Amino acid sequence: MTSVAEQTTSPAEAKQQPSRSARGIAWARRAPLMPALVFMIIVTQLPFVATLVISFMNWNAYYPEEIGFAGFDNFKRVFTDINMRDAVLTTIWLTAGVVIISLLLGLGIALLLDRKFRGRGAVRTMMIAPFLVVPVAAALLWKHALYNPEYGLFNGAITGVWRLFGSDHPPQPDWISNMPLWAVIFALVWQWTPFMMLILLAGLQGRPLDVIEAARIDGANSWQIFRSMTLPHLRQYLELGALLGSIYIVQNFDAVFTITSGGLGTANLPYTIYQIFYQAHDYGRASAAAVIVVLGTIIIATFALRTVSSLFKQEANR
């Protein structure tokens, strides 16, 4: 690609402005990029600088006369706050749980859909549906129409099956109270499995089929082909799915907010910071928490970006 970057101007441009300096050319190249870049810096980077400043301030909207410099007090409070530590753990569990389960389910379903069978298109369309329900609507649906202990579909189905066998006392668990974090995880797995499935299915369909056929003729069985040919080929798609899934699920607010309102040990970092800011109105502490989360994210993202950039180099070398 560097050869393209160092190319001189095309004949048409040279004719228009023969005396343009090298710097002028560089700026002409940069010009189309500038609006997007400047826009992103203003809307995403400036607020973060403001967050950094506020994190060192004593600022609670309920006590406007006490606004002032606070030094590291906010950070001390965040680090000693048990809720924050719990929120970090909850975020890790939630993200890892959803990403791993939906990736494995997605892989299995992608393998099922990679075969030819009657109604394959229909099954693929059915599989995509969960991803196309608005996240808040999906969370409300799971909370009220499925998990509800009195008239939710899960307990309703249990009652139906028990009646079928003549029992009048079916178990009617209160799903959300009994396993709050898993309730959130399952609802999110339902929404994200289609996403993983779509990426992995696209990866499967990009396999070099002639090589696989050759291996089959040489007597390799399905498991051997899967282990030593399909899985290595899918690796970059698995990584892509895991990375993108993590980016979105780490930030999840809708499901936690709707299904449990952050109660019962399900408050993740976005929800906790939202609470400190929106309900406690403690701007200084919310900002300190945000700064710490950003620092943590940068550390994790550095590793994640390395993954993407290796994908990227493969593409560039193509």
Q: CA angle, 26 as apex, 20 and 29 as ends, to 5°?
A: 105
> Between residues 69 and 303, which has the closer beta carbon with respect to another protein?
303
> Between residues 53 and 100, which has the closer beta carbon with respect to another protein?
53
Q: Is 22 in the site for another protein (CB under 8 A)?
A: no
Least distance in angstroms from the C-beta of 142 to another protein: 7
Q: CA angle, 149 as apex, 258 and 252 as ends, to 5°?
A: 20
For residue 233, count other CB atoms closer than 10 A to its CB: 16
Site map 35..64 versus another protein, x via CB under 8 A: xxx-xx--xxxxxx-xx--x----------
Cα 67 to the center of its chain, rounded Å: 36
For the chain, list the strands marked E by DSSP.
57-58, 68-69
Q: Is 68 in the site for another protein (CB under 8 A)?
A: no
With contact defined as beta carbons under 8 Å apart, do 159 and 185 qualify? Answer: no
Binding-residue total with another protein (CB under 8 A): 115
> Between residues 176 and 293, which has the closer beta carbon with respect to another protein?
293
Task: Name residues contacting another protein, limited to 261-280 (CB under 8 A).
Answer: 269-270, 273-274, 277-278
> Between residues 185 and 198, which has the closer beta carbon with respect to another protein?
198
Least distance in angstroms from the C-beta of 30 to another protein: 5
Least distance in angstroms from the C-beta of 186 to another protein: 11
Task: Name residues contacting another protein, limited to 112-171 (CB under 8 A).
Answer: 112-113, 115-138, 140-142, 144-146, 150-151, 153, 155-157, 159-160, 163
Residues 6+ apart with CB under 8 A from 109: 127, 193, 197
What burial letters (b/e) apply to 111-148, b meaning 16+ CB within 10 Å? bebeeeeeeeeeebeebeebbeeebeebbebbbeebbb
Task: Name residues contacting another protein, limited to 169-228 (CB under 8 A).
Answer: 190, 193-195, 198-199, 201-203, 205, 209, 213, 216
Q: Is 249 in the site for another protein (CB under 8 A)?
A: no
Q: Is 234 in the site for another protein (CB under 8 A)?
A: no
> Between residues 82 and 316, which has the closer beta carbon with respect to another protein?
316
Q: CA angle, 264 as apex, 258 and 270 as ends, to 5°?
A: 55
Task: Name residues contacting another protein, limited to 284-313 (CB under 8 A).
Answer: 286-287, 290-291, 293-294, 297-298, 301, 304-305, 308-309, 311-312
φ and ψ at residue 185, rounded to 5 degrees: -60, -45
Least distance in angstroms from the C-beta of 80 to another protein: 21
The helix, strand and coil proportions of the chain, stated in percent and rounded to the nearest 5, come to 75, 0, 20
Instruction: Return the amino acid letter for 263.
Output: G
